[in-house]
Amino acid sequence: PIDPNFETNCKPVDEEDGVTVWGPVDPPEKLGIHGTHVAVDFDICIGDGACLEDCPVDVFSWVDTPGHPESEVKVQPAREDQCIDCMLCVDVCPVDAIDVDPG
Ligand code: SF4
Ligand code: F3S
């Protein structure tokens, strides 16, 4: 599962679609954690899509990640500022790739 303490254990190394990327990253195999309030571990995500389908406020966008060993698509939390902390995405992700930090 995603490390709930990634903000302490990882370093911000980049920004994509307005969200912080937490490293280390080494594309295309290692893509890090994307987002802060709504954080998706791209190295755990298998592109299931339940999070994107279920989010009531459309926080996520598909992004292509060709060459990644787990899946060639991921969900960018591009509108994480819209999140209402319902926790649906956290509950439905089959691989626990998402961390939402209320407050
Ligand atoms: Fe969307 Fe709810 Fe997940 Fe926030 S916690 S990103 S509102 S599904
Ligand atoms: Fe990925 Fe989990 Fe969503 S596998 S696409 S973060 S439901």
pLDDT in tens, 18-65: 999 999 999 999 999 999 999 999 999 999 999 999 999 999 999 999
- For ligand 2, is residue 93 a contact (CB within 6 Å)? yes
What pLDDT is stored for residue 24 in this prediction? 96
Tell me: ipTM over 0.95.
Answer: yes
Instruction: Kindly report the protein residue whose alpha carbon is nearest to atom 7 of ligand 1.
Output: 83
pLDDT of residue 102: 84
Please give the average per-residue pLDDT across 56-82, as a whole number.
Answer: 98
Provide the 3-class DSSP secondary structure of residue 4: coil
User: CATH topology for 6-100?
Assistant: Alpha-Beta Plaits (3.30.70)
CA nearest to 22, candidates 4, 43, 7: 7
pLDDT at 103 over 70: no
In the chain, the percentage of residues whose pLDDT exceeds 70 is: 99
Which amino acid residue places its CA nearest to atom 1 of ligand 1? 55
Do residues 39 and 2 touch, judged by C-beta distance below 8 A?
yes
- Ranges assigned E (strand) in the chain: 11-16, 19-23, 33-34, 38-41, 61-64, 73-76, 98-100
